[in-house]
Structure 1
Amino acid sequence: MAEFNPLVHRLSPPPIPSVLAWSRAYDGSRGERINLSQAVPGYPTHPDMLKWLGEMAAQQQFTNYGDIEGEPELREAYAAHASDVYGAKLSPANIHVTSGGNQAFMCLIMAIANAGEAVALPMPFYFNHDTTLAMLGISSVPVASDDGFLPDIEAVKNVAASGIRALVLVTPNNPTGAVYPPALLAEIFAICRANDIWLILDETYRDFLPSGTAPHQLLDMPGWEKNLALVYSFSKSYCIPGHRLGAITAGADMVDQVAKVMDNLQICAPRSPQAAVAKAIPALADWRRANNTEIVSRAAAMKDVMTRLPLWEISAIGAYFAYVKHPFRGVKSEVVAEKLARDYGVVCLPGAYFGEGQEDYLRFAFANADAATILKLEERLKDFELPSK
């Protein structure tokens, strides 16, 4: 048998299917399965969004190839929207549309780093960032976080001076939910600029910050485009993860480089969803704000549950995720998560999936479930026991 690429072959299987496989053994004896594994919107797509998707899919023009950088209407609409979000002046030339946030990240990394070079990730990391680097032959350098799961500034300074090509941050964070304050991001960006490295800021969950809060002021800084690229996903805000649509915000030179990568990966992102989202950005603003309020209520329900479970601790929470310390010190997080899924019908991700030193944690993607369902966690976690050794 011919050999596989060892950079891919040595990777573990995709994590979400593995935990869902555990949950299929659950017999339902404790009630409905509570799936807090994958970060997907736990409420339906807006009817108008579905209508526009159908209308655009039926148009002949969208069966042909489109612009590699994205549909002009979407690039214009998103540039205007992002300008309002950040209080900055962006144009369509700053936007490249991709097939989801993961593809946006891969395009950026391929445009920035060569095999054999290094990119820094905060600990714990988003696993797809780590595996993308691994399969491209790019080293992943860990950056320590503080007790609130924010990047440690001294660690950032040290790694930035070590010859890396880029630092990658996710805020609101996946897996912890931690939100990086604007002042911290400004300090980190200044370090990146001083060391002439790229800062890739993944803001997939940006729209679930408190309403009216600018995530940061980095796009106001003169020359930001020389060292900064932002990643965004339409999946969560518009409830269309199956249509795979994301965006990069960067300087025009970076957009040109990403276009070279994209032309070989996919040529262009799906065209009919782009046309539909271009309509939805201005039209569904109130609906998105209402969803933000709903996610806040789900976070409140998660906090409420944990106040009555003294052995379980929320270490960080925000946007879609709670990073929870389980009470079984010395037990692998996979053992705890598998038992929860198989016997208690609670599906979550082991902390070990997010890097070394995370065995004491589980990631609960609470946005997947409504508040009433989240409250059912109390009984199951209170009764949860591991087999005695």
Structure 2
Amino acid sequence: MNFTGRTAATFFPPVMEARRWLDGVTQPPGRPLINVSQAAPVDPPPEALRRVIAEAAMNTPEAHLYGAVLGMEGLRAEVATQWNAGYGASLGPANVGITSGCNQAFCAMLSTLCAEGDEVILPTPWYFNHKMWLDMTGVRTVPLPTGATLLPDPEAAAALITPRTRAIVLVTPNNPGGVEYPATLVRALYEVAKAHGIALIIDETYRDFDARSGAPHDLMQDADWGETLIQLYSFSKAYRLTGHRVGAMVASEARMAEAEKFLDAVAICPNQLGQIAALWGMRNLGEWLAGERAEILDRRAAIEEAMPRLSAKGWRLLGCGAYFAYMEHPFDMQSDELAKRLVAEAGVLLLPGTMFTPEGDAAGKRQLRVAFANVDRARIDTLFTRLEGLGWPLAPGYTST
């Protein structure tokens, strides 16, 4: 069967592809699989929040009906209020749109920006769903290599801008790299975008797990921020609502009105129960979320503490933060081949750098992403023990002690 539509322009979903590597593989007794392939909490929401969802499902009739295309007014207002406090902004509900997950927020905003043949700059390694959407809409992805620091260079970004460029996209804390972009870097990239009349899109899905205190940037304090900045956010990671699909986007009122056209044609409205849960979580789960953040930061510390064991074997830690550790492996094989072998030979499922970089990219062939949100300190220790014990041939130029 031939597929000639838009979907044929891109690759298959990487997480689903990786799951297929498990088919026919049986782990030996005493060596359960360590799954660090997906950046999504597997535990359910806290009980109090589940009760709110159940209560709404049983006793709130409008929870089962179409709602406003851009989301519940109360949730939009709460986002504006909390963002104003956190970012020093002056947002109103009209600056906020609620979406069926953060991916949909990205798709909606790109639909307001781009026509076929336009260009968008993505730092590499990139978040693969961003690349997939650009492929399927006929928008050219312009890679911006980030090198060993995983931080995009503003001058390099500026050099890539053409008359067809419509946006620069950032993810911070970064997926897949884990790095947290300094506020000065975010500001510099914002000024590049502003000077060229293009958008700066900042995906802050993992901002609740940033190791830094305070706002990650001050861009919303600019009087004309809406001419350049678009921010994306997800409630899924903060309140474990991945299956309820609730995200948010912050932009100018004019751009939000354009995005409403896209959303009405795709989902009509976001999930009502998910919005009810997100609003209750924002108002009541601040202390609980602080505990979740502390646990993630402790797991990040566990990764960094254990890393010397792998460094002695030739591995390199390129970035670590939020849910992710991004590593360079020392073996004489490409990362996609290595990732498949790890399933059967080490009981580890992770994603190769080839899923986050352009085809043929030399850096991606050496890199791996570890999503550690669902593995505690003990499992992290076991993971490192398994990786430390690999005895495969090293690539030229790599040494182990």
Do these two structures clear the TM 0.5 threshold for a shared fold by scoring above it? yes
Indicate the residue corresponding to 2:57 in structure 1: 57
Cα contact 1:94–1:252 (8 A) shared by 2: yes
Q: Using the alignment, how far apart are the partners of 1:316 and 1:275 within structure 2?
A: 35
Query: Residues 259 and 36 (structure 1 numbering): CA distance in 2 closer, same or farther, change over 3 Å?
Result: same
Matched-pair contact (CA < 8 Å) for 1:23–1:345: no
Residue-by-residue CA offset, 1:217-261 (whole Å, 9 max, x unaligned): 000012010111001000000011011110001111111011000
Tell me, yes or no, if the aligned pair for 2:244 and 2:273 is still in contact at 8 Å.
no
Pairwise CA distance, 1:146: 3.7
Q: Is contact 1:211–1:289 with CA below 8 Å preserved after alignment?
A: no
Counterpart of 1:344 in structure 2: which amino acid? A
**Corresponding residue number in structure 1 for 2:215:** 214
Q: What is the CA distance between 1:62 and its match in structure 2?
A: 1.6
Q: Distance in 2 between matches of 1:153 and 1:144?
A: 11
Aligned partner of 2:276 in structure 1 is 275
Tell me if 1:385 matches 2:385.
no
Cα distance 1:92–1:45, how it changes in 2: closer, same or farther (>3 A)? Answer: same
| Residue 365 (structure 2) aligns with | 359
Is 1:350 aligned to residue 356 of structure 2? no
1:269–1:138 CA distance, 2 compared to 1 (3 A): same
- Mapped to 2, the partners of 1:44 and 1:312 lie a distance apart of 34
For 1:383, the aligned partner's letter is G
Distance 1:35 1:202 in 2: 25
Q: CA deviation at 1:29?
A: 4.2
- Match of residue 168 from structure 2: 167
Q: Give 1:211 deviation, angstroms.
A: 5.5
Query: Where do 1:43-192 residues align within 5 Å?
Result: 43-58=43-58, 59-161=60-162, 163-192=164-193
Q: Is the 8 A contact 1:228 1:250 kept in 2?
A: yes
1:15 is the counterpart of 2:14: yes
Does structure 2 retain, via aligned residues, the 8 Å contact 1:69–1:97?
A: yes
Tell me the amino acid that sits aligned with residue 272 of structure 2: R
SS at match of 1:232: strand
* C-alpha distance in 2 between matches for 1:300 and 1:23: 29
Residue 332 of structure 1, aligned match among 311, 314, 334: 334
Q: Counterpart amino acid of 2:263?
A: M
- Secondary structure of the 2:149 match is coil
Letter of the 2:49 counterpart = M
Kept in 2: contact 1:339–1:386 (CA 8 A): no
Aligned-residue offset at 1:44:
4.2
Q: What is the Cα deviation at residue 79 of structure 1?
A: 1.3
Question: Residue 211 of structure 2 contacts residue 321 of structure 2 at CA under 8 Å; is this kept in 1?
Answer: no
Q: Answer yes or no: is 1:319 the counterpart of 2:327.
A: no
**Number of residue-to-residue matches in the alignment:** 387
- How big is the alpha-carbon RMSD for the aligned residues of Structure 1 and Structure 2? 1.7
* Conserved? CA contact 1:30–1:345, under 8 Å: no
Between stretches 39-48 and 96-105, larger displacement belongs to 39-48
**Alpha carbons 1:146, 1:152 under 8 Å: kept:** no
Worse-superposed segment, 165-174 or 298-307: 298-307
Paired position in structure 2 for 1:33: 33
CA distance in 1, matches of 2:342, 2:214: 36
Cα distance 1:102–1:374, how it changes in 2: closer, same or farther (>3 A)?
same
Post-superposition offset of 1:387: 7.7
Distance in 1 of aligned mates of 2:141 and 2:328 = 25
1:238 aligns with 2:252: no
Partner of 2:165, secondary structure, is coil
Quote the Cα distance in structure 2 between the aligned partners of 1:122 and 1:26: 37
Paired amino acid for 2:18? V
The one-letter code matched in structure 2 to 1:4 is: F
Shift in alpha-carbon separation, 1:66–1:376, aligned structure 2, 3 A: same
Q: Deviations over 1:4-28 (max 9, x none)?
A: 3343124222111221222341423
In the alignment, does 2:382 pair up with 1:376? yes
Higher relative contact order, chain-length normalized (CA < 8 Å, sep 6+): 1
Identity of aligned residues (%): 37
- CA distance in structure 2 between the partners assigned to 1:335 and 1:162 by the alignment: 39
> Tell me, what secondary structure is at the counterpart of 1:9?
helix
Within 1, Cα distance between the matches of 2:19 and 2:384?
21
CA deviations on 1:349-374 (whole Å, 9 max, x unpaired) are 00000012311000000112111111
Cα displacement string for residues 46-73 of structure 1 (whole angstroms, at most 9, x for unaligned residues)? 1111111111222211221110010111
2: CA distance, partners of 1:215 / 1:388 = 39
| Offset, 1:207 | 0.6
Letter in 2 for 1:305: A
Partner of 2:398: none
Contact 1:160 1:197 in 2 (8 A): no
Q: Deviations over 1:267-319 (max 9, x none)?
A: 10001210121111020000001100000011111112211122222111111
The 1:381/1:125 distance shift into structure 2, 3 A limit, reads: same
